[in-house]
Amino acid sequence: THFGYQTVVEDEKEERVYEVFKNVADKYDLMNDVMSAGVHRLWKDYFMSRLAPTSETNLLDVAGGTGDIAFRFLNYVKSSTAEAYDFSDSKLDLDADDVVVDQEPEKPDAVNSMGSVAKPHVTVLDINQNMLDVGKKRAKESGIHKGMSWLCANAEKLPIPDNSYDAYTIAFGIRNCTHVDRVLTEAYRVLRPGGRFMCLEFSHVENPVLRRFYDTYSFEVIPVMGKLIAGDWKSYQYLVESIRKFPNQEDFKLMLEDAEFKMVSYENLTLGVAAIHSGFKL
Ligand code: SAM
Q: What is the pLDDT of residues 109-125, one digit of tens each?
A: 444 444 467 889 999 99
Angle value at C-alpha 254, between 12 and 151, nearest 5 degrees: 50
Q: Is 164 in the pocket of ligand 1 (CB under 6 A)?
A: no
Write the single-letter amino acid at 281.
K
Protein residue with least CA distance to atom 17, ligand 1:
63
Between the two ends of the chain, the Cα-to-Cα distance in Å is: 41
CA atoms within 13 A on the CB side of 49: 6
pLDDT at position 178:
92
Q: Which CATH number does the domain housing residue 37 bear?
A: 3.40.50.150
**Cβ within 8 Å of residue 58, ≥6 positions away:** 117, 119, 120, 121, 122, 164, 165, 166, 167
Ligand 1 atom at minimal distance to the Cα of residue 67: 2
Distance between CA 99 and CA 193 in Å, rounded? 29
> pTM for the complete prediction?
0.87
pLDDT at position 107:
45
* d(CA 246, ligand 1 centre) in Å: 15
* d(CA 65, ligand 1 centre) in Å: 5
3-state secondary structure the chain: CHHHHHHHHHHHHHHHHHHHHHHHHHHHHHHHHHHHCCHHHHHHHHHHHHHCCCCCCEEEEECCCCCHHHHHHHHHHHHHCCCCCCCCCCCCCCCHHHHCCCCCCCCCCCECCCCCECCCEEEEEECCHHHHHHHHHHHHHCCCCCCEEEEECCCCCCCCCCCCEEEEEEECCHHHCCCHHHHHHHHHHHEEEEEEEEEEEECCCCCHHHHHHHHHHHHHHHHHHHHHHHCCHHHHHHHHHHHHHCCCHHHHHHHHHHCCCEEEEEEEEHHHCEEEEEEECC
pLDDT at position 84:
65
pLDDT at position 266:
98
Residues in the chain with pLDDT values less than 50: 1-8, 90-115
216 carries a ligand binding annotation: no
pLDDT at position 92:
34
pLDDT at position 12:
78
Range of the domain at 124: 2-280
Cis check: omega of the bond before 120, within 30 degrees of 0: yes
pLDDT at position 113:
45
Number of structural domains the chain divides into: 1
Backbone dihedral angles phi then psi of residue 34, each to the nearest 5 degrees: -70, -45
Ligand 1 pocket: which of 11, 12, 17, 72 to mutate (most atoms within 8 A of CB): 17
- Are 146 and 109 contacting, i.e. CB atoms less than 8 angstroms apart? yes
* d(CA 18, ligand 1 centre) in Å: 9
Closest CA to 265 of 255, 275, 277, 281: 277
155 carries a ligand binding annotation: yes
* d(CA 172, ligand 1 centre) in Å: 7
123 carries a ligand binding annotation: no
Q: Is 69 in the pocket of ligand 1 (CB under 6 A)?
A: yes
Q: Is 43 in the pocket of ligand 1 (CB under 6 A)?
A: no
